Amino acid sequence: MDISAFCYTNQGGREHNEDSVRCCAGENRGAFVLADGLGGHGCGEVASALAADVIYDGVMSQEPDAEGMCRLFQQANAAIMAQQKVPGQEDMKTTAVALSLSADRAVWGHIGDSRLYRFSGGALTQATRDHSVSYMKYLGGEITRMDVYHDDDRPRLLRALGREPCRPEAAACVPAPGDAFLLCSDGFWEYVYEEEILADLLKAETPEQWAKLMLLRHIRRTPPGNDNFSLITVFVEESL
């Protein structure tokens, strides 16, 4: 099985980029992590880089199952909380989403509102549930799914790395040739909707082409001062 990927991050309209991405793809193996430091909490870029490194290194060395993926997130949380003892970094926090791919297992985990989408069997699904007030309102029937994108409560996160309790979620599946995955921060998915993600995937021959088609939509919609935005696109194909 051949795994290919493309990653992209951009500071958007902000003074600096608080997102961090880690990406490794090859034959029968892939490791991908995206973390979005929380603006307004100070040193978000430090928290996201620390989380991305801890989780990525763990995925590369362990090929974790779902339980192991949760442990990696908890290790990242412990590392961030230890670093919070440094003056000026007391409140730093981050979201994160990660994917471990091998020939017989795909495992993903997340905390916060960075997302993973999975394409398999001709259908695209959001494989993660946002840990946000807005998403809980959607699940409770108070707002529609489309309202989540623009709801006033969307920035209010219920879970993140950098505080206790640390409660990531993880899941797994058996990958198949033709599957594809998208990891992205809220600065990206806020402006590109699921039906568009699928439409661009069906046009694309490579992960890079898929990403660029979606980024064309994104750039047309973002207002001045927009948030950092990042994505990782992943294809699973038969080895040649």
DSSP letter, residue 232: E
Enumerate the H helices of 5-132 as residue ranges.
44-62, 66-83
Q: Which two tokens stand for residue 23?
A: 């990406």
DSSP state of 152: T
Q: Can you read off the two tokens belonging to residue 128?
A: 């993660």
| Matching residue, tokens 């997302």 | 115
pLDDT at residue number 231: 98
Instruction: Give backbone dihedrals phi and psi of 233, rounded to 5 degrees, phi first.
Output: -110, 140
Place of tokens 């000026």: 88
CA distance 116 to 122: 17
Q: How many CB atoms lie within 10 A of CB 75?
A: 16
Q: What is the mean pLDDT of residues 113-120?
A: 98
Give the H/E segment covering residue 36: strand 29-37
For residues 7 and 23, the answer to whether their CB atoms sit within 8 Å is: yes
What are the tens digits of pLDDT across the range 178-217?
Answer: 999 999 999 999 999 999 999 999 999 999 999 999 999 9
Which pLDDT band, with edges at 50, 70 and 90, does 27 fall under? confident
State how far the Cα of 43 lies from the Cα of 92, in Å rounded to an integer.
5
Question: What is the reported pTM?
Answer: 0.96
Distances (CA, A) of 234 to 33, 117, 160: 12, 10, 24
Average pLDDT rounded to a whole number, residues 70-89:
96
Q: CA-CA distance, 122 to 234, in Å (whole number)?
A: 16
| CATH superfamily assigned to domain 2-122+159-236 | PPM-type phosphatase domain (3.60.40.10)
pLDDT at residue 83 greater than cutoff 90: yes
E-strand stretches of 112-202: 115-120, 123-126, 169-173, 180-184
**144 alpha-carbon distance from chain centroid:** 22
Domain boundaries, the chain: 2-122+159-236
Give me the percent of the chain exceeding a pLDDT of 90: 89
